[in-house]
Amino acid sequence: MATPAETEKKKENPAGKAQESSPAAENKSELSLVDFCTQLEDYTPTIPDAVTQHYLQMSGLNTDDPRIIRLVSLAAQKFLSDIINDSLQHCKMRGAPQGSRKGTKDKRYVLTMEDLSPALAEYGINVRKPMYFT
């Protein structure tokens, strides 16, 4: 028979899974955070540190810590890669003709505004063509 304390825990967590609030779980997450910071120091992001640092300074964040700069670079790189991947999916769904060379079976897709605009709209970025293009 379950004690009232065990019954209360099962009500809070119906799956009966143990919640990771123990000191060992916190220590494990701290270790993984330390490992992540160590890996950040060795990682070279696609966006150069100087570019990221410039835009951080323009937005009011002055830091010389390379881990913070690389963390922001990594987040920006992930954001850009998600947008580009969504654009590719839009292009494939639309069935756009690929820009390919004659004689090659190499599929090449071209990034167009027609594919990029819906992908950016998913992230809340609205893009409109200038008046002279319409």
The whole-number pLDDT of residue 99 equals 59
Q: Which is it for the CA torsion 109, 111, 112, 117, positive or negative?
A: positive
Is the pTM value of this prediction over 0.75?
A: no
Q: Where are the domains of the chain?
A: 31-97+109-133
pLDDT profile of the chain (134 residues), mean per 10:
48 49 68 82 88 96 90 94 94 73 70 91 88 72
Among left, alpha and beta (phi > 0; psi -120 to 50; other), residue 95 is left
Cα 65 from Cα 125, distance rounded (Å) = 30
Domain 31-97+109-133 class in CATH: mainly alpha
Torsion, Cα 33 53 83 121, to 10 degrees, reads 110
Residue found by looking up tokens 């820009």 in the block = 99
